[in-house]
Chains A and B, each alone.
Chain A
């Protein structure tokens, strides 16, 4: 079972949010959840995709933080098997009720499997972004690319900073 790591400073924000006297410390826009889950053992891109590297296969999806900001997913557009993906290039799109977002691949390689369950159940991305909501499995062409991605702590900090800037 994967470990879940809660961002420590956003956990503090939880304490703050229940205290009316400290309301000046809250951001101008309230967020429905003060934290998203970030898993150990995964790598993260600044565009909010995650990669799980398992020997010769890398699984890709979007993070809990991403699905939370996007809202309920109503449609997912994914590439065909055997097509190729490139690092930081668009490989599909995810649509929520109100937003459309491109999905960028964190790594380069060949698509060996696509999660066809997402056609009928795009909501899996919301309910299980790291497990049932996986999007594509890739044979990485350049495993060194993984080194350039963020680890869980870095990604958590990145999300905090991005949210605080709003």
Chain B
């Protein structure tokens, strides 16, 4: 066997494997010594529960536990999953001008968000490309809470800090606090709400998708957002790190074992099934939110007024249409992976896969990627090259698995 360990999700190694002349990749190269990697508050808890720890974005994270990635992925949608996502970076922006400040950096209509609500957004660069995607929440008019990707932490914080300095030098009132004292847990699936309800007095049936609350859960003050990365109903819970293990234990106990600790392997399969982008694969510095199919995340007022980095590029794309678009694929044969070429039926290259794999819930291959506008309609038959051989596929809409977000009826 040759191919080495591919536990890095969204990392450049997956690109090397898409190439036909693979160099033997010794697993050793990708495992830094234990001393180099950061550990979350749940590290020992993961190991005690049979977690297979791997390096991810500078952290030692569980890729899976005793159950297989496939079983874990299915269990999330049947019962529920608890993920340690404490490697992600949570921060608060505060001050009278925190809203207009953030609006210079993201495409969302932050001013238009009702207090206690949030949304997925994109931090853009001068060319309209994505620096990172993030879930932002307006807690109050003077407090915004946001979560950014672990792999982009340093880049995002440097970017925000640079712009904050400039903004303040012009008299703007904004400051930040990075929540390294807190740990983020994600609880997803049909049992997420019933289980969490056992641990809080607040009525969770009144907290809808995208909404936020600061409340007591299991005896500590938590930031709770009804959101996630799986397409299921669920929550992201920011808990003081010293209470993270107790909260994880309580959640697992209240579910009587139905909610399982779930690792990054299943998390990736779940988000792929839900048609959600993985920054670093499906979204990068050179891809705009319009191309990525996230036009809905650009606030209406922002589409008219701009005022964020790269607005000229994005507004033009909204007018003329982008030249490439993100679409979903089904395919036969081996799963299509990142950087597999997409051809039309006549063998002309029309695009490229950016993420793909076997869907445990659908039991078929699913993938997402970019194709030339004009070739992007659902049903379009394509050929996807895997290891040099073409396999039949077709373009399809996403999500692949229907979402179950908790919304008012």
B69 x A66 contact (CB < 8 A): no
B17 x A100 contact (CB < 8 A): yes
| Chain B residues, Cβ within 8 Å of A47 | 1-2
Q: Which 4 A-B pairs have the closest CB atoms?
A: A28-B34, A101-B3, A74-B358, A99-B6
| Chain A residues, Cβ within 8 Å of B3 | 93, 99-102
Q: Give per-residue flags for A126-142: 1 if the beta carbon is below 8 A from chain B beta carbons, else 0.
A: 00000000000000000
Q: Using a Cβ cutoff of 8 Å, how many contacts connect chains A and B?
A: 95
List which B97-125 residues lie within 8 A (CB) of chain A: none
Given contacts A99-B6, A165-B28, contact A93 B334 (CB under 8 A): yes
The reply to whether the CB of A85 lies closer than 8 angstroms to some CB of chain B is no
Interface size on B, residues (CB 8 A): 40
The reply to whether the CB of A158 lies closer than 8 angstroms to some CB of chain B is no
The reply to whether the CB of B337 lies closer than 8 angstroms to some CB of chain A is yes
Point out residues on A near B: beta carbons under 8 Å: 28-32, 47-49, 62, 66, 69-72, 74-75, 77, 90, 93-95, 97-104, 165-166
A98 x B69 contact (CB < 8 A): yes
Q: How far is it, in angstroms, between the C-alpha of A71 and the C-alpha of B2 when the chains are bound?
A: 14
B2 x A101 contact (CB < 8 A): yes
Given contacts A29-B52, A97-B357, contact A90 B2 (CB under 8 A): yes
Given contacts A28-B33, A97-B357, contact A71 B68 (CB under 8 A): yes
A31 x B334 contact (CB < 8 A): no
B2 x A102 contact (CB < 8 A): yes
| Chain B residues, Cβ within 8 Å of A93 | 3, 334, 387
B265 x A97 contact (CB < 8 A): yes
A75 x B6 contact (CB < 8 A): no
| Chain B residues, Cβ within 8 Å of A90 | 2
Q: How far is it, in angstroms, between the C-alpha of A149 and the C-alpha of B293 when the chains are bound?
A: 53
- Closest Cβ of chain B to A106, distance in Å, is 11
List which B29-60 residues lie within 8 A (CB) of chain A: 31, 33-34, 47, 50-54, 60
